[in-house]
Structure 1
């Protein structure tokens, strides 16, 4: 991997891969307990996701992902690029639990069926039928810095939740992917749960062409799920139409072009599957569903 290629990596996703989650998000700023000074108690490490740069206000250090990686792993630029290129584990030795900072300041207070009118309106704005939403989502009441909020929650395999409403995009710890096992050898992979729900709304009949589902909840979990993906006979990738989606789709196709397929041609001129559905006509949607039903 070259220096320029490394600089294109999303720092928020990279820190997530290392096990560090933001304690506060105020777009485009993501705040962390400093990964470079894990004994601190107050979050002082900030990533500007638009600029893809970081600053540690506790130490005064700042820079790009390479500057961070060299400090974090205590290695040379060449060694850090080799770590990225080889996709080798890049975690530090575990810190004793008593000294570990909290992964997130979000505390789940209540999990219940969806009843909030603003959340119901938001679901409809995203083009998701309520029966589909109620099957996979919950209404989550949570606490952040002493204040109570509510959002739609999509549960992951570790018991954490992806949290969404009209104004926020957040996660509760622990953060990981979500696997839905329908006992088949087919798999459909999505970055986020709204694209998964969109697909489920488009293909309601699970008895015809049944499939398992993997919702990554972050592309940082793509490589960690490779063994799960390759255990299936066919893997259909519904990633976003952006640089990151291009990268991981190409990586999968290069590893096995017979097993993996790129499904993004369906929504080629849109960011993702959900955006495509929100912009096509009812006739186009009906035509696609008829094509899917045909032998």
Structure 2
């Protein structure tokens, strides 16, 4: 059996390859195939394949690329070992060659990210306009996530953006580089540039969150406190966790309010290796739930019955 080379391997259809591995898309929109991430446990699909370009992007990791990038990461193997695997898979009927249509490459890069950082303007998220939250469907979604409107309005905007020539209106949470995390009931994505969001409340500690709905939930849980909240760092992607270490270590104490999935817990373990006295895991507060927002939603009924949440984080 002849061994595939890298160029041949990159032309193997990613959607069919994931099907072979037992992963089926949760949703297909405009040529984008959304999956529960193959790299970790999650309930909301954050792994995307753009089938036209035959590339992938994992919003939880902040990483993406072609089939070679995926396969070496998924199988934890070298490129040579992956090519041997793929040579065996090629003969099976589930796999076929579909040369991707490449519309342009990043300077100095051989890979594209699915729906991220591409020169083709029709396939890149382009923010057109932002304004205070007003659209009924977005306000309903915020209510469904149990976030008070006054808190959502303080930190979020209503954002119009174009993708594949189609206009979308979503909730936008801005990062410090000017990009947005973009969410609605049916959309999860981000605009470039991708970066963290830092809220400076002038305290000597900092709370760290993976996503902005966990941050908004933290504000909701503590909304009746008279003292200022701790400084807040929203990573917007766990890929920024290690890069944010210099910022986090400026503070006397770092409260980790990360998701209770494999990726989040691995970051917590890593922080303990850095300094077990400085970093504190606060996820016991929502220990039976994936994240703080899921805990908040679970306690919706008790919230409605009481004027305020009895627990404090």
Q: TM-score, normalised by structure 1?
A: 0.69
Task: Give per-residue Cα distances to partners, 1:144-169, cap 9 Å, x unaligned.
Answer: 01111110000001100000000011
Once the 2 structures are TM-superposed, how far is the Cα of residue 55 of structure 1 from its aligned partner? 8.5
In the alignment, the residues of structure 2 paired with residue 221 and residue 236 of structure 1 have an alpha-carbon distance, to the nearest angstrom, of 16
Aligned to 2:209: 190
When residues 47 and 143 of structure 1 are mapped into structure 2, their CA distance, relative to the original with a 3 A threshold, is closer
Q: How many residues align?
A: 234
CA RMSD of aligned residues (A): 3.5
Structure 1 residues 48 and 292, CA, compared in 2 at 3 Å: closer, same or farther?
closer
Task: Please name the residue that 1:95 is paired with.
Answer: 108
Q: Provide the secondary structure at the position in 1 that maps to 2:229.
A: coil
Give the superposition deviation at 1:254: 2.1
Q: Which string of whole-angstrom CA distances, capped at 9 and with x for unpartnered residues, describes residues 130-186 of structure 1?
A: 000000000000000111111000000110000000001100011111111112111
Quote the offset at 1:290 in angstroms: 4.7
Deviation at 1:64, TM superposition (A): 3.2
2:48 to 22, 26, 30: 30
> 1:140·1:151 contact (CA, 8 Å) conserved in 2?
yes
Alignment partner of 1:150: what SS? strand
Q: CA deviation at 1:208?
A: 1.2
Native 8 Å contact 2:221 2:311 kept in 1:
no
* Closer, same or farther: CA 48–120 of 1 in aligned 2, 3 Å: closer
Aligned residues of 2:133 and 2:153 also touching (Cα < 8 A): yes
Superposed CA offset, 1:185-237 (max 9, x none): 11011100001001101112565153100000111100000010011001110
Is structure 2 residue 55 aligned with structure 1 residue 45? yes
Decide whether aligned partners of structure 1 residues 270 and 65 sit closer, same or farther in structure 2, where only a CA change above 3 A counts: same
Q: How does 1:1-295 map to 2 (within 5 A)?
A: 25-28=32-35, 30-31=48-49, 43-46=53-56, 56=66, 63-65=71-73, 95=108, 101-102=118-119, 105-205=124-224, 207-280=226-299, 281-282=301-302, 289-290=309-310, 292=312
Q: Give unpaired runs (5+ residues) of structure 2.
A: 1-29, 36-46, 80-105, 110-116
Q: Do 1:24 and 1:30's aligned partners in 2 also have CA atoms closer than 8 Å?
A: no
What's the offset of the Cα at 1:69? 8.3
